[in-house]
Structure 1
Amino acid sequence: MSTVDVYVHAATRQNTRHAYASAIRHFEIEWGGLLPASPDTVAQYLASHANSLAISTLRQRLAALAEWHREHGFADPTKAPVVRKVMRGVQSLHPAVQKRAEPLQIVQLARIDDCLTEAVGRARAAGDRAEALRHLRDRALFLLGFWRGFRGDELSRLRVEHIRVVPEEGMECFLPRTKTDRHLQGQTFRVPQLTRMCPVSAYLDWVQAADLQGGPVFRRVDRWGNVGDDALNVDSLLPLLRRVLVASDVDAAELYSTHSLRRGFASWANANGWDLKTLMEHVGWKSAQSAIRYIDRDDPFNQQRIERALGT
């Protein structure tokens, strides 16, 4: 790979590269499409999968095809009128209700914190280093993910050398790139030290117990208590999260995802009077529309508001 190729490669997020590569394989190998593709071929591809793939997946496939054609110097067939019309038709004939993860409530977070803290104590008393480390890691992941409103991929990309703890105040987490960081300038997220359910103390407990001097924060722990060198794969976070929810007796664990931490914090902050600007700055949202999508109000049907107006 040439020096230029290295920098071109670095300009695209790893998750995006993997998703685009998978989309191209699906188009070429599984469906049998030829590259470069004509607009009619792309339109046929969309029509062939209109019943089986979600609208969001089809959009991702189009983005991958567009990127492939641009990279290889061909005209982008996804911009053709026939492709746009077919896509609008798919959306019209196959409307889909957007699925949203259940937000994690503060009472549930407190229960998880208690359960994991007790589990650490039991594991240490039994001399089980591996179990103690896993519970410490999971506690740090939940508390940091909730109070900072991190996405799953952001949690998996945190590195020890990019975190600075400010005693009695909190800590700063630097991410070289985020989903909304279009100019690749990196972003620093501040995490408060709290009197209970503290993300800072949970992070320090995990890092010190695992003796992490640098590299990824969240890693695999094997049965013998050895801590891996690589970061937890973002795809492994969902089963980990649901496993902890089940162990903490949280109902309907299958309704939660890694976005539940982010949505849970946004809803908690909104219910506690945070203005939208402060919430956006804390979590890192660039648009109000993005922030509002994550907020669940206490009275979503406006029942209480209307009943008060009726005087009942």
Structure 2
Amino acid sequence: MSAGALPSVMVDGRAAAHAFDGPEARARLARMVEDGTPKNTDRAYAADRRYFRSWYEISGFGEPELPIRADILIRFVVDHSEGLDPRVDAALVASGVKAKLGRLRISTISRRMAWVATWHRSNGYPSPLSGGPVQEALRMARKAAARRGFRPTKKKAALRETVQTLLANKAAPTAAEIRDDAMILFAFATGGRRRSEVAEARIEMLEEVDGEYVFHVGITKTEQEGSTRTVPVAGRAAGALRAWLGIVGASDGPIFRRVERDGRIGTRRLSDRTVARVVQRRAAAAGLDPKAFGGHSLRSGFITESGRQGKNIFDAMQLSGHKSMQSVVGYHQAGAALSNEAGRLMDL
């Protein structure tokens, strides 16, 4: 994040420009902002910022200045929902900010408009999505996409049997396979940890209790100031983790680390993308469609399996860290569906 962009993180960016005129003060603010911004969020915001600026300039509106006019934002929604001017579309692809010609998915349009709203709010301007014509245009674009057959794509939930299939099950697994087994079981058994939480998990966050572990969750997507929650790493997951930690041989640092080609255990943590790739690689090796699975499969799989086994949804949410029933109840109900006796009335 560049120093020139720093005012955008303040409540009132215009006032912040005066408070951080000096290079030393701005450098200190830069460190705080960089440490306080999740890496995934920072990458996504950077990509959305590049795209919006490119579209704005290529469309002939000049250099974007806040606040962005409502009619321009509505044009952004309409262009990407109904189809861009072919010359603009081709220029965006040629510039590298757009992968291919054609409409954007409504989920991508919504995410980029969410970035525009964040950009406004963080500079002291009201969000263009807080009521009014821009929000209405986006709402209608979502309805149009749904009527055209758009459905959000979700990775397939990895249930208990699927997780078992993903494990190496070899008599003499390699260090990387031992790590990957431990990582898969850790992510699933601790409540379906997000892939970023798995990648950022550290040995210091573990507490050994009677041969098993308690994991202190720390920072999560919904708890950016840190969580005081603890979750169990028990049973088979504890055994797999103990085997991996025995190879790591360290008392601090990342739990899940690189294994070098010569077999040495590195000191750097894995990236969150590597967590997803491990799941996909194991799925492919087991004869499953790797594109159907990802890091989120372990999270949704935990909730779905808990419903399948008749576990209390609130107990599952306590481990997963879900804050909203709305986001979790669908997975839980899907797992419990075949146990619903009302679905077997014709069998009586």
TM normalised by structure 2 equals 0.75
Which 4+ residue blocks in structure 1 deviate beyond 6 angstroms?
A: 301-304
Contact 1:156 1:234 in 2 (8 A): yes
Match of residue 220 from structure 1: 258
How high is the sequence identity, in percent, across the aligned residues? Answer: 24
Letter in 2 for 1:20: Y
Match of 2:214 among 145, 149, 172: 172
Contact 1:117 1:135 in 2 (8 A): no
Deviation at 1:222, TM superposition (A): 2.2
RMSD: 2.5
1-structure distance, mates of 2:124, 2:269: 35
Partner SS state of residue 208, structure 2: strand
Match of residue 47 from structure 1: 78
Match of 1:163 among 206, 212, 220: 206
1-structure distance, mates of 2:179, 2:333: 28
Moved more, 100-109 or 294-303: 294-303
Match of residue 121 from structure 2: 70
What are the ranges of 5 or more consecutive residues in structure 1 without an aligned counterpart? 124-131
Q: 1:223 to 1:269 in 2, by over 3 A?
A: same
2-structure distance, mates of 1:275, 1:55: 34
Query: Are 1:259 and 2:293 an aligned pair?
Result: no
Q: 1:84 to 1:112 in 2, by over 3 A?
A: closer
Match of residue 208 from structure 1: 246
Alignment length (residue pairs): 293
Deviations 1:88-133 (A, max 9, x none): 12112111212222121212322333xx2416x0x5xxxxxxxx11
Deviations 1:176-230 (A, max 9, x none): 3112226x24243322421xxx111211211221223322222222211233332
Match of residue 143 from structure 1: 185
What are the ranges of 5 or more consecutive residues in structure 2 without an aligned counterpart? 1-25, 83-102
Deviation at 1:83, TM superposition (A): 1.0
Q: 1:73 to 1:289 in 2, by over 3 A?
A: closer
Partner SS state of residue 223, structure 1: coil
Letter in 2 for 1:98: P
Letter in 2 for 1:35: E
2-structure distance, mates of 1:224, 1:296: 46
1-structure distance, mates of 2:284, 2:125: 50
Contact 2:160 2:305 in 1 (8 A): yes
Deviation at 1:137, TM superposition (A): 0.9
Query: Are 1:284 and 2:284 an aligned pair?
Result: no
Q: 1:108 to 1:79 in 2, by over 3 A?
A: closer
Moved more, 143-152 or 184-193: 184-193
2-structure distance, mates of 1:35, 1:205: 55
TM normalised by structure 1 equals 0.83
Deviation at 1:274, TM superposition (A): 0.9
2-structure distance, mates of 1:209, 1:256: 28
Deviation at 1:2, TM superposition (A): 3.9
Q: Give the 5 Å matches for 1:228-307.
A: 228-247=266-285, 249-295=286-332, 297=334, 300=337, 305-306=342-343
Contact 2:258 2:269 in 1 (8 A): yes
Query: Are 1:21 and 2:46 an aligned pair?
Result: yes
Match of residue 132 from structure 2: 81
Partner SS state of residue 274, structure 1: coil
Partner SS state of residue 323, structure 2: coil
Query: Are 1:103 and 2:131 an aligned pair?
Result: no
Deviations 1:125-152 (A, max 9, x none): xxxxxxx111011001111111111111
Moved more, 52-61 or 21-30: 52-61
Deviation at 1:80, TM superposition (A): 6.1
Q: 1:29 to 1:228 in 2, by over 3 A?
A: farther
